């Protein structure tokens, strides 16, 4: 395999199109479509007594109004619970339109279709819904008490409860190890609610021709949306196409499927026989999509004089909002990824996933890992403080050694597979981050501190992804894969893999993602899995194409396939470049033809080729064309890792926090494109800084979201993001052919822990809650 392109910092090929305004996003499509809008609940908890649409019926341009009673059986049923789990004993999902009860502000109650969005919104404003308000359940601790219920049939608001425990080598439980340890600590940690804010909100556009349904959705999982639509609308799967056009960011919120709108808009298109479109406005994104992060963690830890953790017990209250469409993946990830790069003597974790009358919680970039890392890294800092040790030394005392891989943490991960780390070198990574940030030479002064945090990230989860590769008679390579793209650089990275495997120029490779017409089997883009799973699938498909190309070329060159190689689009005899044939000609020869369409195809017609007359033009078991399909299904997740460090300064008067320096060392196995990986890390750090210092969902006691706009929901400007210094460590994964691990979420995962550590170092006050605002720091100082 030529490695000319694999590992090179190639500029993203998709950027010219996107930056010059030639991108095609959901709202660029369907200019003549009818527009949908929704009446959404203004109450966090209420019964629906009546819906009066009379005043809206005279609105010019009104086409249809639908409530739950108007929906056919498949559409009227609750939406699917996507990831069932034995511990999720009381899973609940919403209806497409609320039936009898609303359980959070923003829940859809009525759908209106009109000739344009303005008229649809006018009709929505005239619809009167008679609500009987109920006292909402807001806040984890109130919800856990169970005095009031979000769902009448869910006792104590408890959706799920799970315990995992790993005893010490001698079979001693975590609680016993803590009780008998030389030192013990107990404390509470809090992470507040936040949410992803992609530049483009959700959106759906559908058209129906009487037999086939085509749906465009701003989604992270077009194939799964397709299956959900087919099931809900009672259509044969081959009659449904779902295409993800250019998608302006996802960060997890667009992995949920189907959203109510992804069922209602196609159903309306079928019912009305007209194209229908809906694009989410910003307030809808705040109150009608999904949030994440909110947890309360109670920690007990026992350790020895060297800082080694002998026993750790963590009890987590997780707020999953009003519904659980994505199961309990987030708290499972928190509870398992909490262990980080450490070998803990014994560990017990227990979580309770609780219903509240707030927007549902589903994965947001990091997906439970920021909470887990905050817990473990705060624990490491508290151990260091208690013992008077250097914080880096405490971490080093607990590291898994590079000789101990694969390392079994003896737990079950989010994919139902064992939590086994495949490769890594954590001591070397610590050395690199200390050198990068200047840890040993740092001079502390009042209001100036340094922080450190480590993490391990499970990436490349299954069950599978696939890739299709075709070489056409012009020598171009066409790659398609079912997962979608939301800005990760897939068109470039996947093209680099294909170009390297096939020995062709990068400019000859094109990549299509997220189009079920091109590739119908996929899982989706989430959990830092695209490069690992789709990348390896594309490589395997390329290897099939390469093998066939060498076999066909060998016949044409009268050579042994083992003596051939491909470089710059030419198949040649090794050591004799003049004995060669273009890959484009091989593609022509792979497809025996009766008819000629041009000079190239004439080479493959029946009187031009020298196929022996005693065998068919296409051998048994072969197919025409130079193309191949490959699937990669990982036995378990790969585990990337990283360490971040930061220097901060705090203002003595305003308590503002300024990040002076930020450093990252990351290991995602072999790097397909270092520039893309750095971009992912930089974007993740920026998002993590937002979560650490700015972003929080402020609910009041009535379940009203008080900051549901960009006027009130704070996010950092570019001026708040420091220059990010990066270094890479490559420990290839032994689990996949390319030796790669994921990188998409790495930048965001440890940022809250890093900032907390640095501010605590600067201020000398305990930082046990995130995000941390100047006001919060001011009150901590006074306390």
* Beta strands per DSSP E along 32-116: 34-40, 46-52, 62-66, 101-102, 108-114
- With residue 422 as reference, give the H or E element that holds it: none
CA 165, CA 347: separation in Å to the nearest integer?
6
pLDDT 10s digits, 335-358 = 999 999 999 999 999 999 999 999
- Mean pLDDT of the region 314-342: 97
- pLDDT confidence of residue 593: 79
Identify the band that residue 1 occupies on the pLDDT scale cut at 50, 70 and 90.
Answer: very low
Q: Which residues contact 318 (CB under 8 A, 6 or more apart)?
A: 140, 294, 295, 328, 330, 331, 334, 351, 352, 353, 354, 361
Helices (H), 77-199: 117-126, 140-145, 174-179
Does the pLDDT value for residue 616 go beyond 90? no
Does the pLDDT value for residue 758 go beyond 70? yes
Share the mean pLDDT of the chain: 95
CA 165, CA 350: separation in Å to the nearest integer?
8
Lowest-pLDDT choice from 29-43, 297-311, 567-581: 567-581
CA 599, CA 699: separation in Å to the nearest integer?
69
pLDDT 10s digits, 144-158 = 999 999 999 999 999
- pLDDT confidence of residue 320: 96
- Are the C-beta atoms of 411 and 338 separated by less than 8 Å? no
CA 86, CA 244: separation in Å to the nearest integer?
33
- Mean pLDDT of the region 349-368: 97
Identify the band that residue 618 occupies on the pLDDT scale cut at 50, 70 and 90.
Answer: confident
- pLDDT confidence of residue 288: 97
- pLDDT confidence of residue 752: 97
- Mean pLDDT of the region 474-501: 95
- Are the C-beta atoms of 666 and 681 separated by less than 8 Å? yes
- Mean pLDDT of the region 327-333: 97
- pLDDT confidence of residue 638: 97
Nearest to 783 by CA among 759, 761, 767: 767
Percent of the chain at pLDDT exceeding 70: 99
- Are the C-beta atoms of 575 and 561 separated by less than 8 Å? no
Lowest-pLDDT choice from 165-169, 243-247, 444-448, 617-621: 617-621
pLDDT 10s digits, 689-720 = 999 999 999 999 999 999 999 999 999 999 99
Identify the band that residue 762 occupies on the pLDDT scale cut at 50, 70 and 90.
Answer: very high
- Mean pLDDT of the region 456-478: 96
- pLDDT confidence of residue 610: 66
Does the pLDDT value for residue 617 go beyond 90? no
- Mean pLDDT of the region 676-700: 96
- Are the C-beta atoms of 674 and 7 separated by less than 8 Å? yes
CA 243, CA 251: separation in Å to the nearest integer?
19
pLDDT 10s digits, 418-461 = 999 999 999 999 999 999 999 999 998 999 999 999 999 999 99
CA 488, CA 480: separation in Å to the nearest integer?
16
Of residues 370 and 746, more confidence is placed in 370
Nearest to 695 by CA among 760, 617, 770: 770
- With residue 338 as reference, give the H or E element that holds it: none
Identify the band that residue 2 occupies on the pLDDT scale cut at 50, 70 and 90.
Answer: very low
Q: What is the pTM of this model?
A: 0.95
- pLDDT confidence of residue 178: 98
pLDDT 10s digits, 251-296 = 999 999 999 999 999 999 999 999 999 999 999 999 999 999 999 9
- Mean pLDDT of the region 623-649: 96
- pLDDT confidence of residue 634: 96
Q: How far is CA 241 from CA 206, 237, 266, 569, in A?
A: 10, 8, 11, 34
CA 421, CA 399: separation in Å to the nearest integer?
13
The two structure tokens encoding residue 658: 């300024």
Identify the band that residue 3 occupies on the pLDDT scale cut at 50, 70 and 90.
Answer: very low
- Mean pLDDT of the region 327-336: 97
Percent of the chain at pLDDT exceeding 90: 93
Does the pLDDT value for residue 594 go beyond 80? no
- Mean pLDDT of the region 475-495: 95
- On the CB side of 499, CA atoms within 13 Å amount to 24
């Amino acid at each position: 395999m030529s490695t000319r392109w694999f590992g090179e910092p190639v500029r993203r090929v998709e950027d010219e199109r996107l930056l010059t305004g030639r991108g095609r996003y959901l709202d660029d499509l369907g200019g003549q479509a009818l527009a949908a809008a929704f009446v959404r609940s203004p109450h966090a908890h209420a019964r629906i007594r009546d819906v009066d649409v009379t005043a809206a019926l005279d609105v010019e341009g009104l086409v249809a109004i639908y409530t739950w009673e108007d929906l056919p059986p498949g559409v009227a049923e609750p939406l699917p619970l996507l990831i069932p789990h034995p511990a999720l004993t009381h899973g609940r999902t919403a209806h497409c339109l609320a039936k009898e009860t609303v359980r959070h502000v923003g829940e859809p109650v009525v759908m209106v279709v009109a000739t344009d969005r303005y008229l649809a919104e006018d009709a929505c404003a005239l619809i009167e819904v008679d609500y009987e308000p109920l006292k909402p359940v807001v806040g984890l601790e109130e919800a856990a008490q169970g005095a009031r219920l979000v769902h009448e049939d869910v006792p104590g608001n408890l959706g799920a409860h799970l315990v995992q425990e790993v005893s010490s080598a001698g079979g001693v439980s975590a609680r016993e190890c803590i009780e008998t340890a030389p030192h013990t600590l107990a404390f509470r940690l809090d992470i507040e609610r936040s949410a992803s804010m992609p530049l483009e909100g959700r959106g759906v556009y559908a058209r129906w021709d009487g037999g086939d349904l085509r749906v465009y959705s701003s989604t992270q999982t077009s194939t799964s949306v397709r299956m959900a639509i087919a099931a809900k609308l009672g259509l044969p799967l081959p009659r449904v196409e779902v295409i993800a056009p250019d998608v302006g960011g996802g960060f997890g919120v667009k992995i949920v499927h189907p959203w109510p709108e992804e069922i209602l808009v196609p159903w309306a298109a079928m019912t009305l026989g007209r194209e229908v479109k809906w694009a989410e406005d910003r307030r809808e994104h705040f109150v009608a999509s999904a949030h994440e992060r909110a947890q309360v963690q109670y920690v007990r830890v026992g350790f020895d004089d060297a800082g080694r953790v002998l026993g750790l017990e963590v009890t987590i209250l997780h707020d999953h909002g009003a519904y659980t469409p994505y199961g309990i993946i987030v708290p499972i990830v928190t509870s398992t990824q909490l262990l980080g790069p450490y070998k803990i003597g014994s560990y017990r974790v227990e979580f309770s996933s609780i219903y509240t009358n707030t927007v549902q919680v589903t994965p947001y970039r990091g997906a439970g890992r920021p909470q887990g890392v905050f817990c473990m890294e705060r624990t490491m800092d508290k151990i260091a403080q208690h013992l008077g040790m250097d914080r880096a030394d405490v971490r080093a005392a607990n590291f898994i050694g590079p000789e101990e891989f694969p390392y079994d943490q003896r737990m079950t991960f989010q994919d139902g597979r064992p939590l086994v780390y495949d490769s890594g070198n954590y001591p070397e990574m610590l050395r690199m981050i200390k050198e990068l940030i200047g840890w040993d030479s740092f001079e502390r002064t009042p209001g100036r501190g340094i922080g450190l945090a480590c993490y391990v990230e499970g990436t490349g989860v299954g069950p599978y992804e696939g890739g299709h590769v075709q070489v056409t008679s012009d020598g171009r390579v066409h790659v398609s894969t079912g997962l979608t793209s939301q800005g990760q650089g897939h068109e470039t990275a996947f093209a680099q893999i294909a170009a390297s495997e096939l020995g062709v120029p990068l400019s000859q490779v094109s990549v299509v993602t997220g189009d079920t017409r091109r590739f119908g089997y996929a899982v989706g883009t989430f959990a830092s899995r695209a490069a690992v799973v789709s990348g390896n699938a594309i490589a395997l498909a390329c290897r099939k194409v390469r093998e066939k190309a060498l076999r066909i070329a060998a016949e044409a060159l009268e050579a042994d396939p083992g003596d051939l190689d491909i470089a710059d689009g030419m198949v040649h005899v090794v050591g004799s470049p003049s004995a060669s044939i273009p890959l484009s000609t091989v593609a022509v020869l792979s497809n025996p033809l009766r008819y000629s369409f041009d000079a190239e195809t004439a080479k493959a017609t029946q009187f031009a080729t020298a196929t022996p007359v005693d065998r068919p033009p296409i051998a048994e078991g072969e197919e025409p064309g130079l193309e191949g399909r490959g699937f990669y299904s990982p036995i378990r997740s790969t585990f990337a890792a990283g360490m971040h460090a930061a220097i901060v300064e705090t203002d003595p008067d305003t308590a503002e926090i300024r990040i002076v320096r930020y450093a990252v060392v990351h290991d995602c196995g072999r790097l397909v494109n270092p520039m893309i990986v750095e971009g992912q890390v930089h974007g993740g750090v920026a998002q993590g800084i937002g979560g650490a210092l700015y972003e929080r969902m402020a609910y009041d006691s009535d379940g009203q979201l008080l900051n549901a706009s960009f006027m009130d929901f704070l996010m950092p400007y570019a001026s708040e993001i420091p220059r990010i210094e990066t270094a890479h460590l490559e420990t290839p994964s032994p689990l996949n052919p390319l030796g790669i691990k994921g990188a998409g979420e790495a930048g965001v995962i440890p940022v809250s822990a890093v900032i907390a550590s640095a501010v605590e170092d600067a201020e000398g006050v305990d930082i046990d809650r995130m995000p941390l605002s100047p006001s919060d720091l001011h009150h901590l100082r006074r306390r």
